[in-house]
């Protein structure tokens, strides 16, 4: 991986992979929903949509036609702490991809009629999440677990906040947040660093200014049970606890524990809840990590009459790993699974591009794969015990339930020791 900082502060990162037929380039802005005020909720995501709605040189239709004409992908996504605009093309079409990205990033017009049209699209997107309970329960968990903190809010905002945003709001937000010290350009695939650097300097070298700090610090987690009654066929539940930040020293054992608990078909929770008891179809655990905070959790979709039993099983497994850790063969399997998943996930230029960008955002440097593999291999059962006892404290557990409990009462007693 090669890295260069332009005179104005824009960082340019590349990982040349000459054997690949594709190249992916992304413009990353260290700006996401956590950097919004409450009345701005959803503005980062709204802006991401608007960048594709026309520039001084191209209409929205022309942007789509040019990338489709070469079989490429031009897209974007917004997270809690960053937004990325990216293009993936065959190596010979890299100049077009760079031109398109630079055009939408620096020359978008944000026409009033496009804003109104896209506002309706985003409101429908928000409604779609609310109609997808296995996604919506995670949003409800965030709101209950980190109350009042920007990290708790849905990335897309709400229909109410989105309806209030106007063109001047977007322009002011761009002026404040889309500054060169918060921008990085990452690319991976069939390219050279010097060629990428030349385009970056020409297209982005004129950006100026710096972004003011707006972060209010990490959230304060809240334990307890939150029940949302809704007429659904299943009950969807998310049981979680405070987790780890992206650069936490315990990140390797935490990920190993997560995989052993609910990271695949051989995991403890999948085997116990689905295979042995037949109480659910979808069972998994997860880690969500940010620059200064995180949470770990388990999702299950089950029937109303089985909800209490499922919660008890999850709590029993958390208590067991906290008490005993992992057996030697289980620990080895989880470590090998983690390394295999990592390497298999890096076989494409887009995954490689994302990796070097996120390393820059969260670590300020490249983190070689050899270093990651060594960190995974070094995890011992003592590490597993330490991180499990840190993460799964009974008094820190939180449970969010969404669905029709059919009269099966569920209160804080399900989390009581």
Q: Where would I find the H helices in 154-277?
A: 159-164, 167-177, 193-204, 251-262, 268-269
Determine the angle formed by the axes of helices 133-145 and 112-130, rounding to 10 degrees.
90
Give yes or no for a contact between 260 and 296, defined as CB atoms under 8 angstroms apart: no
pLDDT of res. 212:
80
- Confidence band for 248, pLDDT divided at 50, 70 and 90: very high
Query: CA 250, CA 243: separation in Å to the nearest integer?
Result: 10
Determine the angle formed by the axes of helices 193-204 and 94-107, rounding to 10 degrees.
20
Find the mean pLDDT for residues 229-249. Answer: 96
Angle formed at CA 183 by CA 189 and CA 16, multiple of 5 degrees: 15
- Confidence band for 416, pLDDT divided at 50, 70 and 90: confident
Label residue 59 exposed, middle or buried (CB < 10 Å: 0-12, 13-18, 19+).
middle
pLDDT of res. 401:
97
pLDDT of res. 122:
96
| Mean pLDDT, the chain, integer | 95
Whole-number percent of the chain with pLDDT over 90: 95
Given the DSSP bridges, would you call strands 183-189 and 11-16 parallel, antiparallel or unpaired?
Answer: parallel
Find the mean pLDDT for residues 77-89. Answer: 97
Q: Is the pLDDT of residue 29 over 90?
A: yes
Find the mean pLDDT for residues 242-251. Answer: 97
Query: Model pTM greater than 0.85?
Result: yes
pLDDT, tens digit (0-9, with 9 covering 90-100), for 288-302: 999 999 999 999 999
Q: Is the pLDDT of residue 216 over 80?
A: no
Find the mean pLDDT for residues 307-323. Answer: 97
Interacting residues of 302 by C-beta distance below 8 A, sequence separation 6+: 234, 235, 237, 273, 279, 280, 310
Q: Which residues are catalytic?
A: 48
In DSSP notation, 345-383 reads: TTSSHHHHHHHHHHHHHHHSS---HHHHHHHHHT--HHH
- Confidence band for 366, pLDDT divided at 50, 70 and 90: very high
- Confidence band for 408, pLDDT divided at 50, 70 and 90: confident
Domains and CATH numbers, the chain: 2-204 (3.30.830.10), 224-415 (3.30.830.10)
Find the mean pLDDT for residues 256-279. Answer: 97
Find the mean pLDDT for residues 339-357. Answer: 95
Q: Is the pLDDT of residue 250 over 80?
A: yes
Give yes or no for a contact between 263 and 291, defined as CB atoms under 8 angstroms apart: no
């Amino acid at each position: 991986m090669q890295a260069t900082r332009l005179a104005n502060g824009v960082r340019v990162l590349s990982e040349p992979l000459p054997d690949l037929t594709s190249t992916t380039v992304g413009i990353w802005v260290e700006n996401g929903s956590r950097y919004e005020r409450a009345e701005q909720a959803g503005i980062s995501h709204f802006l991401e949509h608007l960048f594709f709605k026309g520039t001084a040189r191209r209409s929205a239709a022309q942007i789509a036609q040019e990338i489709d004409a070469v079989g490429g992908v031009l897209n974007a996504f917004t997270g809690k702490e960053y937004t990325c605009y990216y293009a993936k093309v065959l190596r010979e079409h890299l100049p077009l991809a760079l031109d398109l990205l630079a055009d939408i990033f620096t020359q978008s017009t944000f026409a009033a009629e496009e804003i109104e049209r896209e506002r309706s699209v985003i409101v429908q997107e928000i409604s779609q999440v609310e109609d997808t309970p296995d996604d919506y329960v995670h949003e409800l968990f965030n709101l209950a677990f980190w109350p009042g903190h920007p990290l708790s809010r849905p990335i897309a905002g709400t229909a109410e906040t989105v309806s209030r945003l106007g063109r001047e709001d977007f322009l002011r937000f761009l002026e404040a947040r889309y500054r060169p010290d918060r921008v990085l350009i990452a690319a991976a695939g069939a390219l050279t660093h010097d060629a990428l650097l030349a385009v970056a300097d020409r297209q982005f070298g004129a950006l100026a200014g710096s972004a003011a700090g707006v972060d209010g610090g990490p959230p304060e987690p809240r334990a307890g049970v939150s029940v949302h009654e809704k007429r659904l066929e299943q009950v969807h539940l998310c049981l979680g606890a405070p987790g780890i930040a992206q650069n936490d020293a315990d990140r390797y054992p935490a990920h190993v524990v997560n995989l052993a608990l609910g990271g695949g078909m051989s995991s403890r929770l999948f085997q116990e809840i689905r295979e042995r008891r037949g109480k659910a179809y979808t069972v998994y655990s997860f880690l969500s990590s940010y620059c200064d905070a995180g949470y770990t959790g388990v999702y299950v979709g089950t029937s109303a009459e089985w909800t209490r039993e499922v919660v008890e099983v999850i709590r029993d497994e958390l208590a067991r790993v906290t008490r005993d850790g992992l057996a030697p063969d289980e620990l080895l399997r989880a470590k090998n699974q983690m390394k295999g998943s990592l390497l298999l996930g890096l076989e494409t230029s887009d995954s490689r591009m994302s990796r070097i960008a996120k390393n820059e955002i969260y670590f300020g440097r490249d983190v070689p794969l050899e270093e990651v593999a060594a960190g995974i291999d070094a995890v011992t059962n003592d590490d597993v015990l330490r991180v499990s006892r840190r993460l799964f404290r009974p008094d820190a557990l939180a449970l969010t339930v969404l669905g029709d409990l059919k009269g099966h009462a569920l209160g804080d007693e399900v989390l009581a020791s």
